[in-house]
Amino acid sequence: MQETSSTQRPGKVWFVGAGPGAPDLITVRGSRLLAEAGAILYTGSLVAETVLQWASPDCEIADSKSMDHAQVTAWLLDRAQRHDTVVRLQTGDPTLYGVLAELARPLDAAGVAVGIVPGVSSAMASAAAAGECLTLPEITQTVIFTRLSERTQMPERESLVSLAAHGCTLCIFLSIERIEAVVENLITAGWTSEAPVVVVHKATWPNEELVLRGTLSDIAARCREAQVDRQALILVSPALGARAQNDYKPSKLYDAAFPRRFRPAREPG
């Protein structure tokens, strides 16, 4: 870890995905950058502090939960003048619901180099926590990441009703506080009241992860009973529960009669 001098070019600011919560689910590259960083600004309201275990003992660490946009960018710009490596540590993946463009724009304008390190999204972590698949051969091959329209308005063409009408897998972010509205939108889109739903609260967070299962008819009540009203992902998919069923068509991936580049077809039996 080195500090920059006033005559040197500014350091580089890295937007690093912290992953969903568990400290060992950050990428190897992300943990290396945390160890090299002279300064780290993390989203304290969303990122588990255990991820900071990878930081150097003499690293300057600050929490941005009480900062506004101008304060965050000012902090990053200032530390980039002092250190070779500065990390903005964000929950999940920084390119997804992370206002990356807004934060990077002032850095670009100031001539500060920017790097991006992807992270494990809570969508994948939630599916793993629940032991579910997001896709299933000939049932659903499409996954939609979306949210309800609220303070951040959704484009009209991306209403939850219109997206849910496809009948594919939905990973619904930032909407658990309005779970009743999610249910209403899905029913309007044609999903039955008995469609399975999985809600995962704080996926992979040590001692805090909670998986709730239900249907559209009862998932809101289950969430209220468990007091889950933030930091939760909603999974709705025709693929839910596939492991317990045997009536789905098998994938061609391992079908002996289906030729592949390294495996010729062979007759069954």
Tokens matching residue 196: 């399975």
Task: Flag whether pLDDT at 153 surpasses 60.
Answer: yes
Beta bridge partners of 171: 145, 235
pLDDT tens-digit map of 82-100: 999 999 999 999 999 989 9
pLDDT tens-digit map of 47-86: 988 999 999 999 999 999 999 999 999 999 999 999 999 9
DSSP 8-state secondary structure symbol assigned to residue 235: E
| 114-117 vs 60-63, strand pairing mode | unpaired
| 196-201 vs 232-236, strand pairing mode | antiparallel
Strands (E), the chain: 12-17, 39-42, 60-63, 85-90, 114-117, 143-147, 169-173, 196-201, 210-215, 232-236
Q: Do 122-243 and 12-117 fall under one CATH topology?
A: no
The domain limits of the chain are 12-117, 122-243
pLDDT tens-digit map of 208-230: 999 999 999 999 999 999 999 99
Give, in words, the CATH class of 12-117: alpha beta
Q: What CATH number belongs to 122-243?
A: 3.30.950.10
DSSP 8-state secondary structure symbol assigned to residue 56: -
Residues of the chain with pLDDT > 70, as a percent, come to 90
120, 125, 127, 133: CA torsion to nearest 10: 40
DSSP 8-state secondary structure symbol assigned to residue 225: H
Quickly tell me which residue has 């309800």 as its tokens: 148
How far apart are the C-alpha atoms of 136 and 4, rounded to whole Å? 51
In this prediction, residue 151 carries a pLDDT of 72
